[in-house]
Amino acid sequence: MQARMVRQDAMTPGERRAALSLAAIFSFRMLGLFMILPIFMLHAADYAGATPALMGIAIGAYGMTQAFLQIPFGLLSDRIGRKPVIAFGLLLFAAGSALAALSHTIGLVIAGRALQGAGAVAAAIMALAADLTRDEHRTKVMAVIGMSIGLSFSVALVAGPVLDAWLGIAGIFWLTAALALLGILLLVFVVPTPVRSVVHRDAEPVPSQFARVLKDGALLRLDYGILTLHMILTGSFTALPLVLRHRLELPVQHHWWIYLPVLLAAMLAMVPFVIQAEKHRRMKPVFLLAIALVGLGELGLAGFSGSLAGVVGALFAFYLGFNILEATLPSLISRTAPPESKGTAMGFYSSAQFFGAFLGGALGGWIDGHYGEQAVFLFAAALAGLWFLVALGMKPPRMLSSRLVSLGQAEGLDAAELARCLGEVPGVAEAVIILEEGVAYLKVEPRELDEAALEAVVARIGRPG
């Protein structure tokens, strides 16, 4: 048996191909979900039986099925393989898109959107990414996939109004179906096939960890946060397109004139805040500031929706806060979760995010139908205010990083003794040994970690006797 330290050498061509192709598949799917956000409420007259409440449900319907099915799909991929589950999920997504494209009643559109969400392949994609990359590069690959999601959202907000003018809402749904089928082709012909699939506790949910994660108050507070953030986001888009068209009298094909500069400015402006949070260890104050910005943005949309400058300023504040939170919340989950439960914690976090999208669409549409667009923004601001109060009780997180130590063939090793030895290394805050995986999951304080001492312990593990 030989143990080794995980080293930061370059990714292999196969790992880079896996990262980029899986990120593309994820992006195609998210583009299809997000492109209707900025335009769907403008098409109420296209569907029989449409009301603002039902239109809102249609916007968020994918979130309900995605929230409930993504963990089961991930667990199924452990049993029957990643690629079959992902291919089946993409077929469901394409079928839902086709159903929505062919629909003339709002009920069928809701069914189509729910079927889109039923193709819940996020957890299976993350598990496949873990299968195809070495431990030391897994974080990089997950970051590439995460960035692709953020990019998809930005592209969708800009492309949605433009494509709506060219193709119409049905054409956008057909394009979404085509992107899903293109994703299947990438999966079959570009994504490498893993030699074997194993459970990766840092990348996918593990049933034995469910109870522990669901009892963790700090993790539940973060889950509540992402649920609220996506309630606010989706709810806002039940009202914002109507404000742009009716109050600002901006044709739908020109809505991107507002979205594009605001999104670019907010993405640039978020960088120093994230640096302050991560590098300078001011996570809690930056986190609270971001929630406040989201709330102020919503108040601005409620109070200045008749002014172009007011809407642009309010959207900038909202997206600045939103981008900061989208960057820091996963980091907080990673730092807060026990090292061997990170994948499970992220699974429930993602489910909360998607369920928030469903609630935001349903409640936003109902409020818009009964009380108007301003009431939607005021409701969203109230949600942000409540979240701010909840977040005030958050303990400043320990700025710990995750590290993996591969133990190779671990037969005959004493897990408790290994954990004790690793835990005595200066800078190692926690060590969990999973012998069946041949891996030690560590949480370390980067500024205090004694790399030489850690190397020595790992070398000693590898010596017989």
Residue 394 DSSP one-character state? P
* β-pair partners for 440: 405, 433
Same-domain check for residues 258 and 285: yes
Torsion sign, CA atoms 303, 230, 345, 323:
negative
Q: In Å, what is the CA distance from 86 to each residue of 161, 352, 440?
A: 29, 21, 29
pLDDT by 10-residue block (mean), the chain, 465 residues: 50 90 94 94 95 98 96 93 96 98 98 96 92 80 86 94 95 97 97 83 87 93 97 98 96 95 96 90 94 98 96 98 94 86 92 97 98 98 98 84 70 74 86 77 84 79 53
The CATH number linked to 280 is 1.20.1250.20
Same-domain check for residues 124 and 136: yes
Same-domain check for residues 393 and 407: no
Map tokens 């200045």 to a residue.
304
Map tokens 């086709």 to a residue.
98
Query: Which pLDDT score is estimated for 465?
Result: 43
Same-domain check for residues 334 and 410: no
Same-domain check for residues 135 and 226: no
Same-domain check for residues 296 and 406: no
Same-domain check for residues 371 and 414: no
Same-domain check for residues 223 and 326: yes
Question: Could you say which of 152, 187, 204 is where a domain stops?
Answer: 204
Burial of 32 (0-12, 13-18, 19+ CB in 10 A): buried
156-169 confidence digits (pLDDT tens):
999 999 999 999 99
Same-domain check for residues 219 and 352: yes
Query: Which pLDDT score is estimated for 1?
Result: 39
The total number of structural domains that make up the chain? 3
How far apart CA 336 and CA 154 sit, in angstroms, is 28
The domain containing residue 446 runs over which residues?
A: 401-462
